[in-house]
A = this chain, B = another copy of it.
Amino acid sequence: MENSWGTSRTEAFSDGVFAIAITLLILEVNVPETAFDNLWRGIADQWPSYLAYATSFITIGGIWLAHHGIFRRLQYANRRLMVINLALLMAVSFLPFPTKLMAEAIHNNDAERAAVIFYGGTLLVISLLLSALWGSVTLDRHLLRPEVDEKEIKAIALAATPNIGFYVAVIVLAIVAPVVAASGFLLIALVAVLRARGDRSLEPPTTTA
C-alpha cells in the first residue's frame, strides 16, 4: 500500500505559490526620491529592474504553464512527486532574491557578473527540478491518467529538456557579457511560454478548424 495524494489541492497550493512569487517581484522596483526632479529619467534609469522583472515574471509564467500541463495528466501524486514539487516551489519562491540582486547589480561593474551568474544558476536549478518532476512521473506510470499515451510522454519530456542546455550556455555567456546574458534569460522565458504544451490536445470542432 502506497501513500498517495489527490492532485487538486496540490495544484491549488502550487498555483498560490506561483501567483505570489510572480506578484511580489514588483515590490523591489523603485525610483529613489532623489530622482524626482527629473522623474522621466528616473523611471528610465530603472531599466535593469524592468528587465529583471519581466524575465522572472515570464519565467515563472512558463513554469506555471508547464506545471499545469504535468499535473493535469496525473491521477494522483506519490511521495516522491510531492517532495520534488515542494523543492520546485522552494526554488521558484527563492527567485525574487536573485532577481532583486541582478536588478541592483547591473548598475555596478564589480557585481553584475556575479549577480547574473547567480540569477542564471537559480533558473537552471528551477529548470532541472521541472525536468525531475516529469521524469519522476514517467518512472511511475500508474500516476498518469489512462488516456496519456507514450507519444505525449515523450513530447512533454522533450519540451522540458532543451532549456537546461540553453541556461548553461547563457550562464557561460554571462562570464564575458553579463547584460547580454540577462537578455538571453528573457528570450529563453519567452520561447518557453510560446512553446508551452496545453493540458489537453483537443481536436477543435471541425466547423472552425
Contact = CB atoms under 8 A, between A and B. Distances in A.
Interface in A52-88: 53-54, 57-58, 61, 64-65, 68, 72, 76, 78-79, 82-83, 86
A148 to B, nearest CB: 14
Contacts of A199: 4-6, 9
A19 B20 contact: yes
Main secondary structure of the interface of A (DSSP, over half): helix
Contacts of A61: 86, 89-90
| This chain: copies in complex | 4
Interface in A112-129: 114-115, 118
Contact of A198 (B5, B22, B93, B142): B5
Contacts of A166: none
Contacts of A79: 194, 196, 198
Interface string A14-56: 0111111111111101110100111110010000000001100
A95 to B, nearest CB: 8
B194 A83 contact: yes
Given A97-B26, A194-B83, A3 B201 contact: yes
Interface string A174-209: 000000000000000000011011111111110111
Interface in A133-158: 140-142
Interface size, A (range): 35 or more
In the A-B complex, list the 7 residue pairs whose CB atoms are closest, starting with the nearest: A16-B19, A3-B198, A39-B114, A142-B208, A20-B23, A36-B111, A39-B111
Given A4-B202, A23-B24, A79-B198, 16 more contacts: A3-B197, A4-B198, A4-B200, A5-B199, A6-B72, A13-B18, A13-B68, A16-B19, A20-B20, A20-B24, A22-B89, A26-B93, A26-B94, A27-B96, A37-B110, A142-B205
